[in-house]
Protein backbone atom coordinates (compact mmCIF):
# COMPACT_ATOMS: atom_id res chain seq x y z
CA UNK A 1 0.00 0.00 0.00
CA UNK A 2 1.33 3.42 -0.90
CA UNK A 3 1.26 6.12 1.75
CA UNK A 4 -0.41 9.41 0.92
CA UNK A 5 1.76 12.38 1.84
CA UNK A 6 -0.07 15.62 2.59
CA UNK A 7 1.19 19.15 2.27
CA UNK A 8 -0.35 22.29 3.65
CA UNK A 9 -1.65 25.20 1.60
CA UNK A 10 -3.73 28.13 2.84
CA UNK A 11 -3.90 26.36 6.22
CA UNK A 12 -5.49 23.19 4.79
CA UNK A 13 -4.08 19.71 4.33
CA UNK A 14 -3.82 19.10 0.59
CA UNK A 15 -4.17 15.56 -0.64
CA UNK A 16 -1.44 14.59 -3.06
CA UNK A 17 -3.63 11.84 -4.47
CA UNK A 18 -7.39 11.29 -4.60
CA UNK A 19 -9.61 12.63 -1.84
CA UNK A 20 -11.89 9.60 -1.95
CA UNK A 21 -10.75 6.03 -2.55
CA UNK A 22 -14.35 4.86 -3.10
CA UNK A 23 -13.75 1.19 -2.31
CA UNK A 24 -17.08 -0.55 -1.72
CA UNK A 25 -17.35 -3.06 1.14
CA UNK A 26 -19.69 -5.95 0.40
CA UNK A 27 -21.05 -8.64 2.72
CA UNK A 28 -20.74 -12.35 1.74
CA UNK A 29 -24.36 -12.32 0.51
CA UNK A 30 -23.73 -9.29 -1.72
CA UNK A 31 -25.20 -6.62 0.57
CA UNK A 32 -23.48 -3.27 0.02
CA UNK A 33 -22.31 -2.00 3.41
CA UNK A 34 -20.11 1.08 3.05
CA UNK A 35 -17.34 2.83 1.16
CA UNK A 36 -13.88 2.79 2.72
CA UNK A 37 -10.48 4.40 2.23
CA UNK A 38 -7.30 2.74 0.96
CA UNK A 39 -5.99 2.12 4.48
CA UNK A 40 -9.03 0.08 5.50
CA UNK A 41 -9.07 -1.79 2.19
CA UNK A 42 -5.43 -2.76 2.70
CA UNK A 43 -6.13 -3.87 6.28
CA UNK A 44 -8.95 -6.22 5.28
CA UNK A 45 -7.01 -7.70 2.37
CA UNK A 46 -3.68 -8.08 4.19
CA UNK A 47 -5.36 -9.84 7.13
CA UNK A 48 -7.30 -12.24 4.91
CA UNK A 49 -10.63 -10.73 5.95
CA UNK A 50 -11.80 -9.88 2.44
CA UNK A 51 -11.24 -10.57 -1.24
CA UNK A 52 -10.68 -7.88 -3.86
CA UNK A 53 -13.35 -7.78 -6.59
CA UNK A 54 -14.82 -5.29 -9.08
CA UNK A 55 -18.44 -4.19 -8.94
CA UNK A 56 -20.12 -1.84 -11.40
CA UNK A 57 -16.74 -0.53 -12.51
CA UNK A 58 -15.70 0.36 -8.96
CA UNK A 59 -13.12 -1.11 -6.61
CA UNK A 60 -14.71 -3.40 -4.04
CA UNK A 61 -13.83 -5.93 -1.37
CA UNK A 62 -16.05 -8.83 -0.36
CA UNK A 63 -15.85 -9.79 3.30
CA UNK A 64 -14.88 -13.34 4.20
CA UNK A 65 -16.96 -13.18 7.39
CA UNK A 66 -20.49 -12.27 8.34
CA UNK A 67 -20.64 -8.65 9.66
CA UNK A 68 -22.43 -7.94 12.93
CA UNK A 69 -24.91 -5.66 11.22
CA UNK A 70 -26.20 -5.11 7.69
CA UNK A 71 -28.44 -2.23 8.65
CA UNK A 72 -27.43 0.26 5.99
CA UNK A 73 -29.36 3.37 4.97
CA UNK A 74 -28.99 3.11 1.20
CA UNK A 75 -29.58 6.83 0.63
CA UNK A 76 -26.29 7.53 2.41
CA UNK A 77 -24.33 4.96 0.42
CA UNK A 78 -22.80 6.49 -2.71
CA UNK A 79 -19.32 7.14 -4.17
CA UNK A 80 -17.72 10.57 -3.91
CA UNK A 81 -16.31 12.82 -6.60
CA UNK A 82 -12.54 13.39 -6.70
CA UNK A 83 -12.94 16.93 -8.00
CA UNK A 84 -13.60 20.26 -6.32
CA UNK A 85 -17.37 20.41 -5.76
CA UNK A 86 -17.36 24.07 -6.81
CA UNK A 87 -15.10 24.29 -9.87
CA UNK A 88 -14.19 20.72 -10.82
CA UNK A 89 -10.46 21.12 -10.18
CA UNK A 90 -8.72 17.75 -9.74
CA UNK A 91 -5.61 18.69 -7.78
CA UNK A 92 -4.80 20.41 -4.46
CA UNK A 93 -8.00 19.01 -2.99
CA UNK A 94 -9.10 19.16 0.64
CA UNK A 95 -12.00 17.57 2.47
CA UNK A 96 -14.65 20.04 3.57
CA UNK A 97 -17.40 19.44 6.16
CA UNK A 98 -20.46 21.39 5.09
CA UNK A 99 -21.65 21.50 8.72
CA UNK A 100 -18.77 23.00 10.76
CA UNK A 101 -17.04 20.90 13.41
CA UNK A 102 -17.98 23.12 16.34
CA UNK A 103 -21.64 22.17 15.76
CA UNK A 104 -21.16 18.55 14.66
CA UNK A 105 -19.15 17.65 17.75
CA UNK A 106 -22.18 18.53 19.87
CA UNK A 107 -24.71 16.42 17.94
CA UNK A 108 -25.96 13.05 19.30
CA UNK A 109 -23.70 10.12 18.36
CA UNK A 110 -26.44 8.79 16.06
CA UNK A 111 -26.01 11.94 13.97
CA UNK A 112 -22.23 12.29 14.30
CA UNK A 113 -21.77 8.77 12.97
CA UNK A 114 -23.31 9.92 9.67
CA UNK A 115 -21.21 13.05 9.25
CA UNK A 116 -19.51 11.68 6.13
CA UNK A 117 -22.70 12.39 4.17
CA UNK A 118 -21.90 16.11 4.20
CA UNK A 119 -18.20 15.91 3.31
CA UNK A 120 -17.19 17.17 -0.14
CA UNK A 121 -13.87 17.78 -1.86
CA UNK A 122 -12.85 21.42 -2.34
CA UNK A 123 -9.73 22.97 -3.84
CA UNK A 124 -7.78 25.12 -1.38
CA UNK A 125 -8.92 28.37 -2.99
CA UNK A 126 -12.63 27.60 -2.72
CA UNK A 127 -12.20 26.07 0.73
CA UNK A 128 -10.65 29.30 2.00
CA UNK A 129 -13.31 31.38 0.23
CA UNK A 130 -16.15 29.43 1.80
CA UNK A 131 -14.68 29.52 5.31
CA UNK A 132 -14.76 33.32 5.18
CA UNK A 133 -18.42 33.21 4.21
CA UNK A 134 -19.15 30.52 6.80
CA UNK A 135 -17.71 32.75 9.55
CA UNK A 136 -20.21 35.45 8.62
CA UNK A 137 -23.04 32.90 8.73
CA UNK A 138 -21.88 31.70 12.17
CA UNK A 139 -22.14 35.25 13.49
CA UNK A 140 -25.66 35.55 12.05
CA UNK A 141 -26.67 32.28 13.70
CA UNK A 142 -25.18 33.35 17.03
CA UNK A 143 -27.30 36.51 16.95
CA UNK A 144 -30.39 34.53 15.98
CA UNK A 145 -29.92 32.03 18.83
CA UNK A 146 -28.93 34.72 21.31
CA UNK A 147 -25.42 33.45 22.09
CA UNK A 148 -22.04 35.17 22.05
CA UNK A 149 -20.00 34.43 18.95
CA UNK A 150 -16.48 33.19 19.55
CA UNK A 151 -14.09 33.73 16.65
CA UNK A 152 -12.33 30.41 16.05
CA UNK A 153 -9.77 31.55 13.50
CA UNK A 154 -6.31 30.27 14.32
CA UNK A 155 -3.12 32.27 14.21
CA UNK A 156 0.08 30.51 13.19
CA UNK A 157 1.01 29.57 16.76
CA UNK A 158 -2.42 28.05 17.42
CA UNK A 159 -2.27 26.18 14.11
CA UNK A 160 1.17 24.77 14.97
CA UNK A 161 -0.09 23.73 18.41
CA UNK A 162 -3.03 21.93 16.86
CA UNK A 163 -0.72 20.08 14.47
CA UNK A 164 1.60 19.17 17.38
CA UNK A 165 -1.30 17.76 19.40
CA UNK A 166 -2.50 15.67 16.49
CA UNK A 167 1.01 14.34 15.90
CA UNK A 168 1.43 13.55 19.60
CA UNK A 169 -1.84 11.63 19.69
CA UNK A 170 -0.83 9.60 16.62
CA UNK A 171 2.57 8.77 18.13
CA UNK A 172 1.02 7.73 21.42
CA UNK A 173 -1.82 5.59 20.09
CA UNK A 174 -0.44 4.15 16.86
CA UNK A 175 3.34 4.08 17.31
CA UNK A 176 3.76 0.43 16.24
CA UNK A 177 1.74 0.91 13.05
CA UNK A 178 3.21 4.21 11.84
CA UNK A 179 5.13 3.84 8.53
CA UNK A 180 8.87 4.33 8.97
CA UNK A 181 8.90 7.46 6.79
CA UNK A 182 5.95 9.01 8.60
CA UNK A 183 7.33 9.12 12.15
CA UNK A 184 9.98 11.82 11.46
CA UNK A 185 7.24 14.03 9.97
CA UNK A 186 5.14 13.73 13.13
CA UNK A 187 8.12 14.50 15.35
CA UNK A 188 8.94 17.52 13.16
CA UNK A 189 5.39 18.87 13.70
CA UNK A 190 5.90 18.70 17.47
CA UNK A 191 9.41 20.15 17.25
CA UNK A 192 8.11 23.12 15.26
CA UNK A 193 5.73 23.98 18.10
CA UNK A 194 8.09 23.28 21.02
CA UNK A 195 11.27 24.61 19.41
CA UNK A 196 13.13 21.42 20.35
CA UNK A 197 12.92 17.67 19.99
CA UNK A 198 10.00 16.34 22.09
CA UNK A 199 10.42 14.01 25.03
CA UNK A 200 7.94 11.28 25.90
CA UNK A 201 6.65 13.56 28.66
CA UNK A 202 6.00 16.32 26.08
CA UNK A 203 3.95 13.92 23.97
CA UNK A 204 1.88 12.83 26.97
CA UNK A 205 1.18 16.43 28.03
CA UNK A 206 0.06 17.44 24.54
CA UNK A 207 -2.40 14.54 24.48
CA UNK A 208 -3.74 15.34 27.96
CA UNK A 209 -4.65 18.94 27.06
CA UNK A 210 -6.30 18.10 23.76
CA UNK A 211 -9.81 17.32 25.04
CA UNK A 212 -9.88 20.24 27.48
CA UNK A 213 -8.89 22.72 24.78
CA UNK A 214 -11.43 21.28 22.36
CA UNK A 215 -14.21 21.98 24.87
CA UNK A 216 -13.03 25.58 25.25
CA UNK A 217 -12.92 26.20 21.50
CA UNK A 218 -16.38 24.72 20.89
CA UNK A 219 -18.34 26.75 23.47
CA UNK A 220 -20.12 28.82 20.80
CA UNK A 221 -21.23 25.72 18.91
CA UNK A 222 -22.36 23.97 22.07
CA UNK A 223 -24.48 26.92 23.19
CA UNK A 224 -26.35 26.84 19.89
CA UNK A 225 -26.71 23.04 19.82
CA UNK A 226 -28.06 23.04 23.38
CA UNK A 227 -30.99 25.03 22.01
CA UNK A 228 -31.82 22.34 19.43
CA UNK A 229 -34.29 20.25 21.40
CA UNK A 230 -35.41 17.65 18.86
CA UNK A 231 -34.12 15.63 15.93
CA UNK A 232 -36.31 17.76 13.64
CA UNK A 233 -34.58 20.92 14.86
CA UNK A 234 -31.14 19.33 14.35
CA UNK A 235 -32.08 18.23 10.83
CA UNK A 236 -33.40 21.71 10.02
CA UNK A 237 -30.13 23.22 11.30
CA UNK A 238 -28.06 20.85 9.14
CA UNK A 239 -30.19 21.63 6.09
CA UNK A 240 -29.67 25.36 6.65
CA UNK A 241 -25.90 24.85 6.40
CA UNK A 242 -26.31 22.82 3.20
CA UNK A 243 -28.52 25.56 1.74
CA UNK A 244 -25.99 28.19 2.73
CA UNK A 245 -23.16 26.30 1.01
CA UNK A 246 -25.21 25.93 -2.18
CA UNK A 247 -26.31 29.57 -2.15
CA UNK A 248 -22.94 31.26 -1.62
CA UNK A 249 -20.72 28.84 -3.59
CA UNK A 250 -23.03 27.59 -6.37
CA UNK A 251 -21.16 24.25 -6.61
CA UNK A 252 -21.35 22.60 -10.04
CA UNK A 253 -19.89 19.19 -9.17
CA UNK A 254 -21.77 17.89 -6.13
CA UNK A 255 -22.21 14.08 -5.87
CA UNK A 256 -25.32 13.22 -7.89
CA UNK A 257 -26.87 11.22 -5.03
CA UNK A 258 -26.37 13.97 -2.43
CA UNK A 259 -29.61 15.73 -1.49
CA UNK A 260 -29.86 19.07 0.26
CA UNK A 261 -33.04 18.05 2.12
CA UNK A 262 -31.90 14.57 3.22
CA UNK A 263 -32.74 14.04 6.87
CA UNK A 264 -31.08 11.84 9.46
CA UNK A 265 -33.20 9.44 11.49
CA UNK A 266 -32.54 8.32 15.05
CA UNK A 267 -34.34 6.03 17.52
CA UNK A 268 -37.62 7.56 18.71
CA UNK A 269 -36.60 7.18 22.34
CA UNK A 270 -33.31 9.06 21.87
CA UNK A 271 -32.66 11.42 24.77
CA UNK A 272 -31.27 14.69 23.45
CA UNK A 273 -30.26 16.02 26.85
CA UNK A 274 -26.71 17.50 26.93
CA UNK A 275 -25.18 14.63 28.91
CA UNK A 276 -26.17 12.19 26.15
CA UNK A 277 -24.78 14.25 23.29
Nearest to 108 by CA among 218, 270, 255: 270
CA dihedral sign of residues 235, 236, 239, 241: negative
Q: Are 138 and 220 in contact (CB under 8 A)?
A: yes
Q: Are 154 and 217 in contact (CB under 8 A)?
A: no
pTM for this predicted structure = 0.62
Instruction: State the Cα–Cα distance between residues 71 and 220, nearest whole angstrom.
Output: 34
Least trusted range by pLDDT, from 32-36, 231-235, 249-253: 32-36
* Averaged pLDDT, 40-46: 86
* Averaged pLDDT, 145-171: 77
Instruction: State the Cα–Cα distance between residues 140 and 244, nearest whole angstrom.
Output: 12
pLDDT for position 97: 92
Instruction: State the Cα–Cα distance between residues 148 and 270, nearest whole angstrom.
Output: 28
Q: Is the pLDDT of residue 1 over 50?
A: no
pLDDT for position 5: 42
Q: Is the pLDDT of residue 3 over 50?
A: no
* Averaged pLDDT, 41-58: 85
For residue 153, what pLDDT band results from cuts at 50, 70 and 90?
Answer: low
Q: What residues contact residue 271 under an 8 Å CB cut-off, 6+ apart?
A: none
Q: What angle do CA 224, 230, 231 make, to 5 degrees?
A: 100
Of 21 and 262, more confident: 262
Beta bridge partners, 93, equal 15, 123
* Averaged pLDDT, 221-250: 94
For residue 20, what pLDDT band results from cuts at 50, 70 and 90?
Answer: low
pLDDT for position 152: 55
Phi-psi region of 105 (alpha: psi -120 to 50; beta: other; left: phi over 0): alpha
pLDDT for position 277: 41
Q: Is the pLDDT of residue 275 over 50?
A: no
Q: Is the pLDDT of residue 276 over 50?
A: no
* Averaged pLDDT, 252-265: 88
Other CB atoms within 10 Å distance of the CB of residue 58:
12
Amino acid sequence: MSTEHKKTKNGYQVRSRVAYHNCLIIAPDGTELAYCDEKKEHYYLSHGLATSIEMNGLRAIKLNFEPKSKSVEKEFLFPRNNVCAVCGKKDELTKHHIVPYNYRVNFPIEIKSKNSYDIVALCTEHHAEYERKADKFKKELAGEFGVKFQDEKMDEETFNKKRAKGAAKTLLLYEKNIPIDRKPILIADIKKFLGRLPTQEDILKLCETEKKKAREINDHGKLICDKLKSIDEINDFIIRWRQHFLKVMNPQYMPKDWKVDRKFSVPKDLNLSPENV
